[in-house]
Amino acid sequence: MEAIEAQKEEQLLKIKKFRNKFPVSGIILLIIKWLDNTSFSELYGLLKKNFFSHFNFSTEYGNSLDLMFHCCLTSMALISSIITDSCLGKFNALILSQVLLLTGYSIVIAREFLPEDTFMSMFLLVTGLLLVASSTGVKLPCFMCLAGDQFQENQVKERNMMFSFLFLSISFGEIFATFLVPLIKDLECFSKNCYLVYLLASTCIEIFCIVLLIVSKKLFFIAVLKRGKILEIFKCIQFALVNQLRHCALKIPRRDHWLDWALEKFSEEQIRDVKIFFLLLLFTIPFPFLWALSKKQTNANFFQAKKMNRSLAGFSWQNDEVQAYVSGCLIIIITFSEICVRPIAKRHGFSFTTMRKMLIGMLLIYISMLITLYLELQIEKHENYKKIHLDSEYQNFLNKLYSSKTLKKENILLKEKEKYTLVLYGRSRNFSSLLIHDEENTSGNGLADVKIVSALDKNITFLRALGSFRLTEYNRVSPSLRIKTNRSRKLLCKTDVIYWFTLGLLDYGGNYMYVIIKDTPILISWKIQTIEIKNISFVWQIPQLIIFEIGEFMVQVSCMQFYYAEAVEGMKVTMMALWLNTIFTGFLIDTTMIYNFLLPSWIDQFIFSSIQLALIIIIVITAYYYQETIIKLRRKPHF
């Protein structure tokens, strides 16, 4: 064993390094990762959009497609990681993943030259999407472990910096693609929306990455495979369980650990590796819930931004633009901390160990949740309605509507301490206004609040089990309807004929208005999600976004460093894939929580921030137990 380690160190000393410190192979991996994310980050959105258009699916089913994509990605990550550790090797697996991605791009490009409505076109689109997901699942754990392999045992600082820069290259690629794709879309080319141009560019990038990897293979350190390590671990577990059952009599003395029953067949070193494997699995258990809360926080920030004033310096800022600038700030802050802050802190005796960085990142995510909760409470307090003072409880007002040379007068009746929305409808000289009474938002229980407005010149009746209602020329607004949000909804209605009025998928706790504008040959309506924009600038949200991004960065990079350093030789890719699977499980938990926790947004935010705090405490306890146990196993502190 010592001879193998000495040979590994000797080979690592010989590989080419930048300034005799940072391996050139690591720089190549950073370039490839940046190019990969530049080509892929926007491509998945384009593939998804194409998928919906070809299969006539509503874009409201995006979460389901994301779920299937992540399921394919993580299942492939787990399967391929076992194969990689057993027989394939990290470098060969990385080449294979790039080839799979190139094949996926090529299939989608070939599909572009086929008629859109054919079976072959649809088959190629689905096959391309699956190949892209599979290649991503194979690539991620191999990339991280291959990057870590390029450093010697004593180069912990450089290796950790490599993981940090790998994460930053992902963010930089996404920023680059965010600004690049709109420029491509604005070009005039032989494709209507230049979708094919982006695919061809992505394909060229992948070809360049494959060629670069093959040409620079001699610059990489490729570790010798420990074949059968995973099989050895499972054989050890099986033998320990069987042997313990054979010696379960009361007279037989107990052993310190149930795995010690495998000592008759396996060495102490082999049993220690199995114990470390189980410790890592124990430490992994809380992380799916952490990623679920992080996903929940991302969604909360997104929905909170919808209720804030997006105007600044004469521009209306979109979420993608804000996120791109936040990611840019993250790159600057992290680069500055890696180059300046960390050396200064180390000089003053404070070391950022893996566990400390992980804990600080979780606390930053928790602080971001508290800021979100505070902003949500401030948003709830703000009222943007124009106040009108009444002389009595009820009062009539004359409403004058002007359109070019047309003047129309209408009387409206207002009640004190009530909220109203004035809707203008019609066209040309035939226009009118409609006063809609805004009830207090009672849809916080998870049901969507729906109102239906009829602009038809005929009566329309809606038939419901809980009570039917009719919209007439003189009563065009329906009562508030509470609609369940767990699936796409339809209402039965009748004019001269019977129709199914489709509501589609609704956000939990959302407010919607449907305006019926036509009933022949089918019922046509406008779907409007009514969001009250508060007079609070979105700038107040930027600090919490930066804090959240830094916290997530610290947790993810610390996890990369931790699982690479702690995993036993021959199982590093498998353990990295298991950690990546916690992210998918968190996505699945978050999708489930959307329909199970049906509360007003600020209460919802308070509950999840409390869960985050409890989760941090659990992870700290688990980390302490891990550290104490690993010290006993290795006879020395590891961090």
Q: How far apart are the first and last CA of the chain?
A: 23
Helix (H), strand (E) at residue 583: helix 572-596
Supply φ then ψ for residue 409, to 5 degrees.
Answer: -115, 135
Residues with Cβ < 8 Å from 370, sequence gap 6 or more? 609
- pLDDT above 90 as % of the chain: 1
Of the candidates 482, 441, 452, the residue with the CA atom closest to the CA atom of residue 600: 441
**HSE value, Cβ hemisphere, 13 Å, CA-based, for 531:** 14
Of the candidates 498, 468, 472, the residue with the CA atom closest to the CA atom of residue 481: 468
Helix (H), strand (E) at residue 438: strand 430-438
In the predicted structure, residue 476 carries a pLDDT above the cut 70: yes
Helices (H), 113-153: 119-149
What string of H, E and C letters represents the secondary structure of 148-195?
HHCCCCCCHHHHHHHHHHHHHHHHHHHHHHHHHHHHHHCCCCCCCCCH
Tens digit of each residue's pLDDT (9 = 90 or more) over 519-572: 776 677 777 776 666 667 777 888 888 888 888 888 988 888 888 888 888 888
Domains and CATH numbers, the chain: 1-225 (1.20.1250.20), 231-262 (no CATH), 267-384+535-639 (1.20.1250.20), 394-529 (2.60.40)
In the predicted structure, residue 117 carries a pLDDT above the cut 70: no
In the predicted structure, residue 446 carries a pLDDT above the cut 60: no
Residue type, 123: F
Which pLDDT score is estimated for 597?
45
Which pLDDT score is estimated for 363?
92
Tens digit of each residue's pLDDT (9 = 90 or more) over 592-618: 665 444 556 677 778 888 888 999 999
Judge contact between 334 and 556, C-beta under 8 A: no
Tens digit of each residue's pLDDT (9 = 90 or more) over 153-171: 778 888 888 888 888 888 7
- Distance, in Å, from the CA atom of 566 to the CA atom of 572, rounded to the nearest integer, reads 8
Query: Pick the residue with more confidence: 184 or 97?
Result: 97
Which range, of 4-13, 129-138, 241-250, 430-439, averages the lowest pLDDT? Answer: 4-13
Give mean pLDDT, residues 128-143.
Answer: 81
Give mean pLDDT, residues 320-329.
Answer: 75
What angle is formed at CA 211 by the lines to CA 209 and CA 215, rounded to 5 degrees? 120
Beta bridge pairs of residue 66: none
- Distance, in Å, from the CA atom of 285 to the CA atom of 293, rounded to the nearest integer, reads 14
Which range, of 1-10, 75-84, 135-144, 486-495, averages the lowest pLDDT? Answer: 1-10
Query: Pick the residue with more confidence: 591 or 33?
Result: 33
Which range, of 69-78, 438-447, 620-629, averages the lowest pLDDT? Answer: 438-447
Q: What is the pTM of this model?
A: 0.76
- Distance, in Å, from the CA atom of 52 to the CA atom of 262, rounded to the nearest integer, reads 54
In the predicted structure, residue 381 carries a pLDDT above the cut 60: yes
Mean pLDDT taken over the chain: 77
Residues in the chain: 639
Give mean pLDDT, residues 126-142.
Answer: 81
Tens digit of each residue's pLDDT (9 = 90 or more) over 171-224: 777 777 777 666 665 555 544 556 677 778 788 888 888 899 888 888 888 877
- Distance, in Å, from the CA atom of 609 to the CA atom of 6, rounded to the nearest integer, reads 48
